[in-house]
Amino acid sequence: MPNVKSMDQIPGPKGLPFIGTLLEYTRNDGWGFKNFFAMTQKRRREYGPIYKENIGNNRFVVVSTSQDVEIILRAEGKYPNRNPIAPLAEYRKKRNLSLGVTHSKDEEWKKFRSAMDKKMMRPHEVTCYSDRINVVSNDLIQRLKRCRGNDGIIPDIEKEINKYTTESIATVLFEKRLGMFKEPIEPKTEQFCQSLTKVLEATNEIVTVPPFIFKYIFTKHWKELIKWSDIATEFADEIVEEKRKQIEKKIASNDNMTRSDDRVDFLTYVIATGKLSRSEANVAMMELLFGGVDTAATTILWTLYNLGKNPRVQDKLRSEVRSIMKDSKEPDANLIEKMPYLRSCVKETLRLQPIAFALPRIIGNDLVLSGYKVPAKTYVLIANYVMGRDESVFPNPSQYMPERWLRGSDRQGYNSESRFQYLPFGFGPRMCLGKRVAEMEIHTLLSKVSLFKLNLLPQG
């Protein structure tokens, strides 16, 4: 092919052999990574829209134009693969657990998705969780009113929102209330919640370090990860087993368990389809509990922050919600559908503060990206964060402006027609499994909170 350059010619920082540019990514006080978000922006400024770099023992090609993203994602076959998060995958291997939906590849991954997609991804299936999420969000609102100080400030809003997402995802998965708004919370449940943070923290400390180093040399964080993952696994196992017993009883009485009505919760559905073994189903539930808490909570918190900083947007949102809710008590899927500004506020948050700084993929075929030939099996990163702040696409990129996501003549501040410019939940068969549930939790709560003049801004 004329004018196509080789992979070796892609620009990028010259790292030391093997440890690559790891030191640049890690903090001064340890191996935890400093800030991938900021690093991808720095690199983009230095090297342009495509660069390569070694992080730990992996070499990545990082892309940030919608054209390259489209080439990568359109070429995906039946099994889009990404590199597993090494510390979490190592833990699963150590405990002889399946790699689950997040870390597995090929047919193994497909088995998980085919057991879960229907009840998580189809819009009409997900609407059956709406009532439960409404109940949980009402409990949170009551609690916020109770714990609000005289100045209107909630002392630890982060903790409260985390309780909301934990309780919501548990009701979706198991139709079980964990009692997150009780005082005191049951010690086991409290410990489980702590484990969610501890596992993330320990993973973050060693994620860029190859397993043979974190397992045998810098063992402190690896031991922490094992300890807290064991606690989380045991907690999830207990709930799943309790539920399983109830389900087995029902199956024995010949109840039709796979029907898709609101009497069948997610776990019941997964078990009844019989596509996953006992241990695989347990791992899958733990992954969803893990994947479901911090992601949705962080997005809610950032949206509250953005609304707090932008009174104009807050007022516009409030009047939209008021006009649509009128006499309705609860915002269901139909009402949320009629609130484009609410949905745009969340989209705009995920542009500025996406959950994933990049989407990782292992490409299946040789591809030409920005004029360079990138061979099959290369690890690529789609730089979500950088793309959301591209000035040529989003004028005044740091401004929080939900109008960018409105339709037709109401749209302002978004200059791209490509659907590959903005992918906060990923794309294709490997996209976020919890997207619809997360959106339901976030929209439901924000529509309620926006009606109250609560001061929800985190302090400091």
From 25-33, 208-216, 355-363, 393-401, span contacting ligand HEM (CB under 6 A): 355-363
161 contacts ligand HEM (rule: CB under 6 A): no
Alpha helices (H) in 98-219, listed in sequence order: 100-103, 106-121, 123-126, 130-147, 157-174, 187-206, 211-216
Binding-site string for ligand HEM from residue 243 to residue 272, where x marks contact by CB under 6 A and - marks none: ------------------------------
Burial (CB count <10 Å: 0-12, 13-18, 19+), residue 423: buried
Smallest separation (angstroms) from ligand HEM to the CB of 239: 15
Distances from the Cα of 393 to the Cα of 103, 267, 390, angstroms: 33, 42, 6
- Kindly state the greatest CA–CA separation across the chain: 70
358 contacts ligand HEM (rule: CB under 6 A): no
291 contacts ligand HEM (rule: CB under 6 A): yes
> Are residues 102 and 287 in contact, defined by beta-carbon separation less than 8 angstroms?
yes
- Measured from the CB atom, the residue of 22 and 281 that comes closer to ligand HEM is 281
Distances from the Cα of 11 to the Cα of 36, 45, 99, 442, angstroms: 19, 12, 34, 40
295 contacts ligand HEM (rule: CB under 6 A): yes
Q: What is the rounded CA–CA span in Å between residue 68 and residue 115? A: 32
Alpha helices (H) in 207-328, listed in sequence order: 211-216, 220-252, 266-273, 278-309, 311-325
Q: What is the rounded CA–CA span in Å between residue 160 and residue 453? A: 17
From 18-26, 151-159, 286-294, 414-422, span contacting ligand HEM (CB under 6 A): 286-294
From 59-67, 252-260, 354-362, 452-460, span contacting ligand HEM (CB under 6 A): 354-362
Q: What is the rounded CA–CA span in Å between residue 58 and residue 60? A: 6
Choice from 32, 87, 388, 424 touching ligand HEM (CB under 6 A): 424
Binding-site string for ligand HEM from residue 296 to residue 315, where x marks contact by CB under 6 A and - marks none: x--x----------------
388 contacts ligand HEM (rule: CB under 6 A): no
List the structure tokens of 441: 């939790």
428 φ/ψ sector (left φ>0, alpha ψ -120 to 50, else beta): left
Q: Is 345 annotated as a binding residue?
A: no
From 140-148, 212-220, 308-316, 432-440, span contacting ligand HEM (CB under 6 A): 432-440
Known binding positions for heme: 432
Annotated binding site: 432
Q: Which residues bind ligand HEM (CB under 6 A)?
A: 82, 101-102, 113, 169, 287-288, 291-292, 295-296, 299, 350, 355-356, 359, 424-427, 430-434, 437-438
